Amino acid sequence: PALARRASSEQQPEATRWRVVVVVGLGSFLSNTASSCLMTCQALWLKEVFGWTSLHFGFVMMATSVLGLTLRTLAYDWLQRKLGLMRCASFGALLSTAAYAGYSLVRRPAGFEWRFALFAASAACGTTGMILTSGSVAPFLSRLSSKEAMGRVMAVASVTASAGRVIGPPLYGRLYVIEQPLPYRVAAAFAAAAAVGYVVAQRLYVVARCIAKGGRLHAAPPPRSAPTSASTCAPRACRCHCCSRRCAGRASRRRCVRRSSRSRFLPEAGRSARTATRLSARFRPTCSPLSRWCSTF
């Protein structure tokens, strides 16, 4: 029970992180605005490019739905555990950007085989991107809210998603009248902006958790006065300060060995202060980029 309460307190903060909520909401708005391009222009676009009827459009929708169901069942949980929620959302937005860019490149004069291959690849990327993005935003927002403000945070998520689906159809309808590939180009720009927003939200979340736990973004060097051995390494000496989580396994032992090796080059070992500083700089421990982005999502 104590471990469960500790895990719950780490997942749910005492105060709502509204700055991160706003950034995630903006990314959700841009992502849903981009996705509304498909439900507005897809049928007209398929008829214009391939000459397909409503029956063909129904089969296309069925194929993308089957692909989405398969991804949700078999691959999404694994990707979420490997990448994290916001990384899944960012990766999904990038896939959506590639999909809309691919749609804009499909033209009628090209051969049917090339047109169909590019369309199939774009449809697969778009479906995967929407699955990753839509399934990651709401769970991530639940981590940003306190128990009292959970309803308001979920309302922000619903309002931003609905606003994108309201604004998108008339915008893309007007753009389709001007030029056929133009809606997909604008949707690609919206999806790319959403990916940037999710990356910024992830970074803000890491910094907010670091500040809340009193950590630092970089590992602090050990004190120069007392040498530290590998067997008596203090618990805080082997912690990643960007997310205040203990480094485990080989990484912890390797840092302890580096700290003990650095203690040999202190001035007390018979060397001058300048020589000790030059030699000890080679063994100065720092957090790697991977440790700064620890699995806190």
* pTM assigned to the model: 0.66
The whole-chain average pLDDT of the chain stands at 74
Q: Determine the Cα–Cα distance for residues 160 and 135; give it in Å rounded to an integer.
A: 15
What pLDDT is attached to residue 284? 47
CA 21 → CA 137, 141, 154, 197, 260, distances in Å?
A: 10, 7, 10, 11, 43
> Are 24 and 197 within 8 A, CB to CB?
yes
Whether the CB-CB separation of 30 and 193 falls below 8 Å is answered with yes
pLDDT digits (tens, 9 = 90+) for 236-280: 444 444 444 444 444 444 444 444 444 444 444 444 555 555 545
Instruction: DSSP letter for 145, please.
Output: S
Q: Residue 292 — pLDDT band, cuts 50, 70, 90?
A: very low
pLDDT-based confidence at 134, cuts 50/70/90? Answer: confident
In the predicted structure, residue 193 carries a pLDDT above the cut 80: yes
pLDDT at 184 over 50: yes
| Mean pLDDT within 82-97 | 90
Write the DSSP assignment of 256-294 as a string of letters.
Answer: HHHHHHHGGGSGGGT--HHHHHHHHGGG-----HHHHT-
Angle, to 10 degrees, between the axis of helix 85-105 and the axis of helix 112-144? 150
Q: Two tokens at 212?
A: 């809340």
